[in-house]
Structure 1
Amino acid sequence: MEREKLVKELLFHIRLGEDSSIEFKAVEYDGQRVRSPNGDKMAHEIAAFANGQGGRILLGVEDKSRDVIGIEDDKVSLTEEWVVNISQQKITPPVRVDTRLLQLPDKAGDQKTVICVEIPRSIAVHQSVGRYYQRVGSTKQEMKPEVLARLFQQRSQSRLIRFDETLVPGTSTEDIDPSLKQRFLRPGTPEQIQFHKLHLTAKDEYDEGLSVSGTLLLTPNPTQWLQNAYIQCVLYAGTERDAQDQLDAQDYTGPVDQQINGAFEFVRRNMRVEAVKSIGRRDIPQYDLGAVFEAVVNAVAHRDYSMTGRRIRLHMFSDRLELYSPGALSNNLTIDGLMDNTVTRNEALVNLLSRYYNAREEAGRQALIERRGEGVPKIVNRSRELSGREPEYRLIDDNELLLTIYAASKER
């Protein structure tokens, strides 16, 4: 039924022509390479839709005549890969696109394969090949400085509004899992008022729905809208990142509190516990679980959710644990200042996790997050005491924070 509805909508647009929500593109080839449309211009079209209200690009339809040309079966896969690569490689930050393969009739009534590229309205502002475009009517236009500044402000890249409080396009309160919302509700006040006060919902000049924080906490799968809001966990047998040495792997994609617990259990399940029997029995775990819990909580709570294409990565090796969190340190915080200072990037998210969620027993406290600035010192001190080596924080390309915790061993 959904496919039939989409086909009907596309045929309607083909009959009437392009508008602010749809663009037609015929595709031409040189062997196994797309010759037309030009890749840079295609990037501008995608970014323009993402910077506006979203839209569709229909590949296989001539824009002026509105004839359904179609795409040959042996070219469908490479065309789909071509447009996805453009969305990821020629646009900053990358744009998430969804592709649908459909059959539409040409003028003779013969069914032709077309690709419908769905581009949602983005929560970021996108630059394509060094320029900023927006969709105006049936054309794309390069944004004037004042228009661009206003768009940055609206989408919170200027941080006038915290990013985790902004609206996630395409969400609504209907996406809330009833089992996830009960902890936030208090009798006597309507749900919508409570959610709004807690910044779980948001609205802009066009729509209203869930905020970034609301999407992360109230939906069973936040990656449906925030594609990289998950934790990737991998266990390697040796000391190098080698797919041949991979012993265990799991992606944790649920609400962020469940992601934290999932990643923690991944470490608990896979770390070694050695025994020393010289004087009684003494177990030596590779990692202090309280420090591990603190590290995972920090990564989830303080990562930059505005960055696309990056997820939290927790990789275990025979001699160390590496935890990658997207985003540079916020508000001019430095690596050297991590032990003495605390700066919150996602104020709404941190506030909710500290008020409404309980920590595991290993954390040694009741609230999932404590706000006294003791997290990093706990990670460093407990890990150093166990392994004899200082954990290391390091910035990777100013876009990712890497924490390395070294494994303890009875050989120490």
Structure 2
Amino acid sequence: MNPLSDQELATLLEDLESDRIERKRAWAGDAAEKARQAVCAFANDLPNHGRPGVVFIGANDDGSVASIDVTDQLLLTLSDIKTDGKTVPPPTLTVERRVLKGAPVAIVTVWPADSPPVRYEGRIWIRIGPRRGLASAQDERILNEKRRYRDRAFDTHPIQGCPLSELNRTVFENEYLPQAVAGDVLAVNARSYEERLASMGMIASVDDPTPTVIGVLALGKTPRSWVPCAYVQFLRIRGTEWGDPVADEQELDGTLDLVLRRLDDKIKATLAVSVDFTSGSTTELRSIPYPLSALQQLTRNAVMHRSYEGTNAPVRVYWFDDRIEITNPGGPYGTVTAENFGRPGVSDYRNPSVATVLKAMGFVQRFGFGIAEARRSLAANGNPPLDFQVEPTVVLASVRKVP
């Protein structure tokens, strides 16, 4: 994923017929909408260039530069395209300021996705020559085949021996699809059940309707039968040390939606509110040992980023009297390292399809902001700073009780 040189960018900028570029004179009017559609199309890479597409901000349609002011705020706004949750799976892109033909230009470079099709607001955009368009059923089939043979993400691998009947068709058609696909697209959708499953990555392909890992995690009738590690172990420990008495123990399994909803219920039930009547005062002071939003962000992050491959270990939520330990069986991945773990703006996706499903189900609003939100809400509640222990195969998040 090497950046394009200034000469390569200048050559692309001047190629008026290229299907790998999008030019915008300024970030105004409908530029934001059109640029996001272009990012989606470049990520899908229907022509199979295997090369990045580029959105130029500060360039005219004739290939000349517009000499705009490329501010830090503009670059931050462009970076939000990756994390605002409107494009799923999250595209791989870089944003930078370059000087081309003597003038500053904002450059958004988008690499082809490993797990197409990519959707922007529930629609699959592709490049048809120098213009954008919505994918047809045949275009979707081509993108599905690209994913089938090129994908590196484990969550889209087919589960050999798993029958199509393992997937809950009623949940898929009545609950998942309306959340994941734009209403106008569904209204004119003449695709078969298998074509729709393949388009969403729930089966390997129309010709091979074997459920994938994400298909079973999202729609499976018995997910843990096929993905043994797909559960959360919850313990309420009366004490502060390992080996202290266990007051409550539960294994939460089922589809991703069911697991996270049951986990939310468990956290809310355990999150007792302490009440302190101040001596000599009629004022009731209420405090909570942990903010709910922080625990939700951290547990959902653990489910999203954990490794589902080569392990039978669950996500663990161990609730001690003085802290909560959330263990994620899966160390740093991709651009995330032990050194930069948790740093704002640094994120990668071991399970891009899991991330897509959690976004569609409403468990994720933005990508890459979970840890930052947890830290913010913990600080606002008066809790000690969030602590991470990052190892090659596991991440432990420790949340300390408010003093």
TM-score normalised by structure 1 residue count: 0.55
- Confirm or deny: 8 A CA contact 1:268 1:289 kept in the other structure: yes
1:220 corresponding residue in structure 2: 221
Aligned to 1:247, the other structure's residue is in SS state: strand
Offset at 1:208?
Answer: 4.0
1:263 corresponding residue in structure 2: 263
The amino acid that maps onto 2:299 is: V
Q: Any gaps of 5 or more consecutive residues in structure 2? A: 1-146, 178-185
Q: 1:338 aligns with which of 337, 342, 352?
A: 342
The amino acid that maps onto 2:322 is: D
For residues 349 and 314 of structure 1, do their structure 2 counterparts lie closer, same or farther at Cα, with a shift above 3 Å needed? same
User: Is 1:348 aligned with 2:353?
Assistant: yes
Per-residue displacement from partner, 1:271-299 (whole Å, max 9, x unpaired)?
33212333622221111101111111111
Query: Quick one: distance in 1 between partners of 2:387 and 2:333?
Result: 18
1:399 corresponding residue in structure 2: 393
The amino acid that maps onto 2:155 is: D
The equivalences for 1:107-146 within 5 A come to none
User: Is 1:298 aligned with 2:301?
Assistant: yes
Query: Quick one: distance in 1 between partners of 2:367 and 2:246?
Result: 38
Count residues with an aligned counterpart. Answer: 240
Query: Quick one: distance in 1 between partners of 2:151 and 2:205?
Result: 15
Per-residue displacement from partner, 1:242-274 (whole Å, max 9, x unpaired)?
2x6100011011101111121222222123321
The amino acid that maps onto 1:391 is: L
The amino acid that maps onto 1:331 is: G
- Confirm or deny: 8 A CA contact 1:166 1:212 kept in the other structure: yes
For residues 373 and 172 of structure 1, do their structure 2 counterparts lie closer, same or farther at Cα, with a shift above 3 Å needed? same
Q: 2:311 aligns with which of 308, 322, 336?
A: 308
For residues 192 and 203 of structure 1, do their structure 2 counterparts lie closer, same or farther at Cα, with a shift above 3 Å needed? closer
Q: How large is the Cα RMSD of the aligned pairs?
A: 2.3
| Amino-acid identity (%) | 20
Offset at 1:387?
Answer: 3.6
Aligned to 2:175, the other structure's residue is in SS state: helix
Offset at 1:160?
Answer: 4.7
User: Is 1:175 aligned with 2:176?
Assistant: no
User: Is 1:211 aligned with 2:206?
Assistant: no
For residues 271 and 257 of structure 1, do their structure 2 counterparts lie closer, same or farther at Cα, with a shift above 3 Å needed? same
2:190 corresponding residue in structure 1: 188
Offset at 1:334?
Answer: 2.6
The amino acid that maps onto 1:325 is: N
For residues 178 and 389 of structure 1, do their structure 2 counterparts lie closer, same or farther at Cα, with a shift above 3 Å needed? same
Query: Quick one: distance in 1 between partners of 2:151 and 2:216?
Result: 20
Aligned to 2:326, the other structure's residue is in SS state: strand
User: Is 1:374 aligned with 2:369?
Assistant: yes
Offset at 1:348?
Answer: 1.3
2:324 corresponding residue in structure 1: 321
Offset at 1:339?
Answer: 3.0
Query: Quick one: distance in 2 between partners of 1:221 and 1:284?
Result: 40
The amino acid that maps onto 2:266 is: F
Higher relative contact order (CA 8 A, sep 6+): 2
Which structure is larger by alpha-carbon Rg, 1 or 2? 1
Query: Quick one: distance in 2 between partners of 1:344 and 1:270?
Result: 30
Query: Quick one: distance in 1 between partners of 2:225 and 2:266?
Result: 23
Per-residue displacement from partner, 1:216-254 (whole Å, max 9, x unpaired)?
010132110111111000100001122x61000110111
